[in-house]
């Protein structure tokens, strides 16, 4: 939503959102025009953020204000500003729009929102490749202990029991492998 610094300010003599909503309920098109002028940027920006497509966002913008015109009784008159409600309505309508889309283009071409930072993920993959390269040069005993600890999630005690190796030796092997990895990766 928006904070008070980006919220449209009412000039002296301008009607509040509840007053405009009452006029819309009476069928006053001018009131709808004023409400549109006041809140269309917010509605459009929320739709764009969700849909990432200008044409679809414009469709949602039109749908939201058509809903306000056709069903103004669904909006609460007691709210000072309709911004929060319009933002939620827009988000929901945009999400519905995404769900209704027909797959008219190959799946490979569809833009998908990703909660993953792809640049960071790529860096992590490169780092992981370097770690694997360095780890492959470790003695077999250190590789095995390291893999069991970090990739299988076994404790030092479990590794010692599974490999029939003294606990101190397991700890030393893992510590030596980690130290070598750190030194190599820092270089």
Ranges of CATH 1.10.10.10 domains, the chain: 118-186
Q: C-alpha distances in angstroms, 120 versus 45, 52, 104, 116, 117? A: 27, 22, 31, 8, 5
pLDDT in tens, 32-54: 999 999 999 999 999 998 888 89
Tell me the CATH number of domain 17-103, given options 1.10.8.870, 1.10.1740.10, 3.30.200.20, 3.30.420.40: 1.10.1740.10
Given a contact cutoff of 8 angstroms between Cβ atoms, the answer to whether 31 and 20 are in contact is: yes
pLDDT band at 17 (very low <50, low <70, confident <90, very high): confident
Mean pLDDT, range 146-152, rounded to an integer: 76
Ranges of CATH 1.10.1740.10 domains, the chain: 17-103
DSSP string, 42-94: HHHHHHHHHH--HHHHHHHHHHHHHHHHH-GGGS-TT-S-SHHHHHHHHHHHH
Q: How far apart are CA 53 and CA 92, in angstroms?
A: 16
Residue found under tokens 């909660």: 115
Given a contact cutoff of 8 angstroms between Cβ atoms, the answer to whether 61 and 94 are in contact is: no
pTM beyond 0.85: the answer is: no
- CATH 1.10.10.10 for domain 118-186, yes or no, is yes
Q: What integer pLDDT is reported at residue 118 of this predicted model? A: 64
Q: Half-sphere exposure of 110 toward its Cβ, with a 13 Å CA cutoff? A: 12
pLDDT of 4 above 50:
no
């Amino acid at each position: 939503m928006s904070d008070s610094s980006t919220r449209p300010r009412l000039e002296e003599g301008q009607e509040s959102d509840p007053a405009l909503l009452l006029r819309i309920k009476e069928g006053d098109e001018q009131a709808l025009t004023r409400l549109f002028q006041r809140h269309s940027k917010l509605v459009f920006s929320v739709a764009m953020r969700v849909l990432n497509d200008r044409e679809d966002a414009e469709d949602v913008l039109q749908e939201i204000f058509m809903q306000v015109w056709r069903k103004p009784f669904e909006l609460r008159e007691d709210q000072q500003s309709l911004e929060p409600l319009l933002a939620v309505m827009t988000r929901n309508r945009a999400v519905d729009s995404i769900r209704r889309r027909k797959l008219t283009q190959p799946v490979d071409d569809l833009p998908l929102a990703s909660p993953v930072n792809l640049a960071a993920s790529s860096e992590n993959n490169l780092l992981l490749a370097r770690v694997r390269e360095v780890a492959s040069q470790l003695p077999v005993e250190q590789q095995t202990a390291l893999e069991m600890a970090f990739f299988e999630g076994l404790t030092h005690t479990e590794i010692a029991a599974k490999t029939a190796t003294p606990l101190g030796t397991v700890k030393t092997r893992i510590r030596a492998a980690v130290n070598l990895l750190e030194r190599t990766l820092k270089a």
